[in-house]
């Protein structure tokens, strides 16, 4: 038999065999997914040198497009496997925004194999031989059916494979100035889009971009521009919406209602936009350009009416309307312009309808059960309804994929079952638009990431020093609480692929899992420091806080969580510190007009009702927290404040108006009970404040481009502040062959 020299890599206690695609530890194979092994081999081969993340993506997926997050997940898996076998030794270094470097000492070892078919490892052993024998057998089991299928295909001609999906990024904004909305022109030549700084039109072929000037009426005012699928067929002008500047989230299009908004005609030929209508939101332009669909007459749920009018605002007429307890959102046209699709929302949920412009009963496309978490929808020229469905474990719909539902163009009724079109990860899409030939679809692709920070507190808690990223991982992570001795923090993380609870000591690099999956939100450490109470996933499949949620208890060291009871929709829990033993839960009553505050026993469940506090009807932006000594509660009714300080029997002790601030999104008591850490929403960001009980506020940290819920948790000893910040990136993409 001919012999050949084979090469292996050794690092730490590991041996890596490129020919067999094996990572060995102590003579035993370490299970790795093929892409994870390929990533490890690439890094080891370039040990000590930077491997650019784009180059790594091209090596792992040479013929397809994937999200950058897939690389990060494989690297995170490798880190975990290598670290667990070496008591925390780090082998892979992340170079922010550039790539990765293998930092372990690598030795290349040569071994003359007895035969090219033997594939013996340097440390051959019975276990290794048995494993390889099983692998060969398994390979045969797999290859035989494949061969049968292949020859069957040879005998029976098959349909040609569909063309490969093509993607192209059209904008490249950072999260500090993310793209908010956008739409492509019917001829595919121009992209109109908006970001936090204004509205722009870009030439798709060259990237040349022109800023749309602000109309005189809006100069000096802060507005958020919204560009939807409202281009006219000639490709020279479109309709845009101007909204009062405020908190724009990733998927908050429904939050923009017609009150205070206005519609404007924008021309790419020059000049400032001119107004079409006040207190209205444009949804879409008909395929022939003769009609503009818009929403108006806002209620607490959203717009109550959908209207049509001519391209210059002439001959407005009402198309659909609903009552004060429901709303109508969006309008997407069939290719012949005779039918439209729109969404109706009420207390029972959302439903998608197809309606005829000439009257008649609307057709239900997706009922509330099917529409539970549909983010957006669009009627394609080929007759399919395109819509977005969040993935399981997705927080507030932040991860989603495209689905297609074939519709009858004449009736709008479904004619086949829906089919998933993409299997992406790490982002979600919204705001679809398409070229007149139906070949190029554009959409806004956004991704959320939560990063946790740790800083020293000084000047009586009114300043922070040297904030640093903690823990140091690439996962999305947010702080939830501290251990009573202030030596470790608890945080939520998606490092396992599911949102779970982890504990990490300040002087260590490895996090300990407490709850791997099944976590929902609002976790708090009990006063005795022995358990964590938290809200689990909703029982009806709704997004977090939008349905009944189980109250769970788990030991701080992990183990099997126990269910205590089911909390009302959108409840919040809070716990004091020892020696107080009190936890509380605030639950809105059925009509949302009162907050019922009850004691919470971490062993037995809901305890005695303490008091009731009036809420603003249909406003879910209230918040509560319990003082460290367990004697007072801080509560807000609305984003505008003030902060109410109440005793445990509901007696009003103080009202604290936060001087110079509004949009108060969350609050946590300071460790000394003499102030609060408050998060305020600002235009295109978040700021963490220290607020004393006289309402004086001082900015501790600014999160420019931030979004989502931000919480600041002081350590029980008052020496540190752990806080987190969401960032949201958003850019326009174009897809073909879908």
Q: How would you classify the pairing of strands 14-17 and 4-11?
A: antiparallel
Instruction: Give the pLDDT band (50/70/90) at residue 540.
Output: low
115 and 212 inside one domain: no
Shared domain for 456 and 435, answered yes or no, is: no
Report d(CA 434, CA 418) in Å as an integer: 20
Q: What is the mean pLDDT of residues 532-544?
A: 80
Q: Is the pLDDT at 494 greater than 70, yes or no?
A: yes
Q: CA of 672: how far to CAs of 214, 401, 442, 576, 677, in Å?
A: 49, 46, 52, 12, 12
Q: How far apart are CA 536 and CA 550, in angstroms?
A: 5
* pLDDT at site 572: 96
The domain in which residue 206 lies consists of 166-439
**Whole-angstrom Cα distance, residue 48 to residue 92?**
10
Strand order in the sheet with 99-102: 50-52, 99-102, 92-95
Report the candidate in 537, 600, 242, 231 with the shortest Cα–Cα distance to residue 394: 537
Closest CA to 622 of 652, 587, 674: 587
Nearest CA to 448 out of 69, 52, 2, 18 is that of 69
Q: Which of 93, 124, 155 is the last residue of a domain?
A: 124
Task: Judge if 332 and 304 occupy the same domain.
Answer: yes
Same domain, 345 and 262: yes
Whether 116 shows a pLDDT value over 70: the answer reads no
Average pLDDT over residues 43-70: 79
> pTM above the 0.85 mark?
no
Query: What's the mean pLDDT when you consider all of the chain?
Result: 84
Which pLDDT score, from 0 to 100, does residue 627 have? 97
Cβ atoms of 79 and 91 closer than 8 Å: yes
> What percent of the chain is predicted at pLDDT more than 90?
50
* 511 and 579 part of one domain: yes
- The answer to whether residues 430 and 523 belong to one domain is no
Confidence of residue 689 (pLDDT cuts 50, 70, 90): very high
Q: What percent of the chain has pLDDT over 70?
A: 87
Q: Clarify whether residues 335 and 412 are in a common domain.
A: yes
Cα distances (Å, whole numbers) of residue 677 to 26, 243, 488, 726, 730: 51, 30, 20, 17, 29
Binning pLDDT at 50, 70 and 90, where does residue 373 land? Answer: low
In a domain, residue 160? The reply is no
> How big is the chain, counted in residues?
738
Domain end among 392, 407, 439 = 439
Predicted confidence (pLDDT) per residue in 698-737, tens digit: 999 988 766 667 889 999 999 999 998 887 889 999 999 8
Q: Residue 354: which CATH number?
A: 2.130.10.10
Stretch 502-527: mean pLDDT: 90
Q: Residue 4 — pLDDT band, cuts 50, 70, 90?
A: low
pLDDT-wise least confident of 156-165, 474-483, 713-722: 156-165
Tokens of 203: 């030439």
Residue 245 pLDDT: 78
Both 468 and 369 in one domain: the answer is no
CATH number, residue 550: 2.120.10.30
Nearest to 543 by CA among 427, 354, 374: 374
Preceding peptide of 579 cis, ω within 30°: yes
3-state SS assignment for residue 725: strand
Q: Is the peptide bond before 471 cis (omega within 30 degrees of 0)?
A: yes
Residue 22 is part of a domain; what is its CATH number?
1.10.10.10
473 or 511: whose pLDDT is higher? Answer: 511
How many independent structural domains does the chain possess? 3
**Tokens of residue 69, six digits:** 């997050």
Asked which of 182-196, 214-228, 398-412, 454-468 is least confident by mean pLDDT, the reply is 398-412
Q: Which of 439, 457, 490 is the last residue of a domain?
A: 439
597 shares its domain with 644? yes
Q: Is the pLDDT of residue 604 over 60?
A: yes
3-state secondary structure of 351: strand
- Predicted local distance difference test score (pLDDT) of residue 703: 83
Is the residue at 268 inside a domain? yes
Residues 546 and 433 in one domain: no
What Å distances lie between residue 123 and 1, 28, 111, 120, 224, CA to CA? 21, 10, 10, 8, 65
pLDDT at residue 110 in the model: 79
Do 474 and 425 reside in the same domain of the chain? Answer: no
411 and 559, same structural domain? no
Rounded Cα distance between 197 and 176, Å, is: 10
């Amino acid at each position: 038999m001919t012999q050949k020299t084979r090469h292996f890599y050794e690092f730490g206690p590991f041996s890596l065999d490129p020919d067999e695609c094996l990572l060995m530890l102590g003579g035993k194979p370490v299970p790795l997914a093929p892409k994870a092994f390929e990533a490890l081999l690439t890094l080891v081969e370039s040990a000590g040198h930077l491997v650019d993340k784009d180059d790594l993506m091209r090596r792992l997926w040479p013929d397809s497009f994937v999200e950058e997050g897939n690389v990060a997940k494989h690297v995170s898996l490798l880190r975990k496997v290598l670290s667990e076998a070496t008591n925390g030794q780090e082998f892979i270094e992340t170079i922010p925004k550039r790539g990765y470097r293998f930092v372990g000492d690598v030795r290349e070892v040569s071994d003359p194999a007895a035969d090219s078919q033997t594939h013996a490892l340097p440390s051959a052993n019975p276990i290794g031989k048995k494993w390889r024998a099983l692998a060969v057998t398994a390979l045969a089991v797999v290859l035989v059916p494949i061969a049968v299928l292949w020859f069957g295909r040879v005998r029976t001609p098959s349909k040609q494979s569909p063309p490969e999906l093509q993607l192209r990024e059209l904008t490249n904004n950072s999260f500090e100035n993310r793209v908010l909305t956008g739409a492509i022109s019917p001829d595919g030549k121009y992209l109109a889009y908006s970001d936090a700084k204004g509205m722009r039109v870009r030439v798709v072929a060259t990237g040349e971009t022109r800023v749309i000037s602000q109309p005189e009426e809006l100069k000096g005012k802060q507005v958020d521009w919204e560009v939807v699928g409202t281009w006219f067929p000639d490709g020279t002008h479109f309709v845009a919406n101007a909204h009062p500047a405020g908190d724009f989230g990733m998927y908050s299009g429904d939050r923009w209602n017609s009150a205070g908004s206005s519609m404007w005609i924008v021309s790419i030929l020059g000049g400032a936009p001119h107004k079409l209508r006040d207190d209205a939101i444009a949804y879409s332009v008909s395929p022939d350009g003769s009609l503009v669909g818009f929403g108006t007459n806002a209620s607490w749920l959203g717009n109550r009416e959908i209207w049509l009018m001519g391209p210059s605002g002439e001959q407005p007429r009402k198309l659909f309307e609903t009552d004060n307890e429901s709303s109508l959102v969006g309008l997407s046209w069939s290719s012949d312009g005779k039918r439209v699709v729109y969404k109706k929302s009420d207390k029972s949920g959302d439903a998608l309808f197809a309606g005829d412009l000439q009257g008649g009963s609307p057709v239900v496309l997706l009922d509330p059960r099917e529409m539970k978490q549909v983010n957006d929808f669009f009627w394609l020229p080929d007759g399919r309804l395109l819509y977005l469905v969040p993935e399981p474990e997705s927080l507030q719909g932040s991860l989603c994929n495209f689905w297609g539902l074939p519709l009858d163009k004449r009736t709008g009724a479904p004619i086949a079952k829906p089919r998933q079109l993409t299997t992406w990860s790490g982002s979600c899409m919204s705001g679809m638009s398409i070229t007149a030939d139906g070949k190029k679809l554009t959409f806004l692709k956004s991704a959320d990431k939560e990063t946790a920070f740790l800083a020293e507190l000084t000047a009586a808690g009114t300043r922070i020093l040297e904030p640093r990223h903690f823990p140091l991982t690439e996962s999305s992570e947010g702080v939830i609480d501290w251990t009573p001795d202030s030596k470790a923090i608890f945080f939520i993380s998606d490092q396992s692929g599911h949102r779970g609870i982890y504990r990490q000591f300040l002087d260590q690099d490895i996090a300990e899992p407490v709850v791997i999956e099944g976590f929902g939100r609002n976790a708090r450490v009990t006063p005795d420091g022995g358990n964590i109470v938290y809200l689990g996933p909703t029982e009806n499949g709704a997004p977090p806080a939008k349905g009944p949620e189980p109250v769970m208890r788990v030991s701080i060291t992990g183990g099997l969580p126990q269910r205590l009871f089911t909390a009302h929709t959108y409840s919040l829990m809070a716990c004091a510190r020892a020696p107080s033993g009190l936890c509380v839960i605030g639950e809105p009553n059925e009509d949302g007009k009162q907050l019922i505050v009850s004691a919470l026993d971490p062993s037995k469940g809901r305890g005695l009702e303490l008091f009731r506090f009036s809420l603003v009807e249909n406003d879910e932006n209230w918040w509560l927290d319990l003082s460290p000594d367990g004697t007072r509660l801080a509560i807000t009714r609305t984003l505008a404040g003030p902060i109410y300080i109440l005793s445990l029997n509901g007696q009003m002790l103080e009202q604290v108006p936060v001087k110079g601030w509004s949009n108060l999104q969350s609050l946590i008591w300071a460790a000394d009970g003499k102030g609060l850490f408050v998060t305020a929403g600002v235009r295109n960001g978040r700021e963490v404040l220290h607020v004393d009980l006289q309402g004086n506020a001082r900015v501790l940290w600014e999160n420019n481009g931030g979004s989502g819920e931000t919480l600041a948790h002081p350590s029980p000893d008052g020496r540190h502040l752990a806080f987190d910040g969401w960032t949201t990136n958003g850019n326009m993409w174009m897809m073909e062959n879908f």
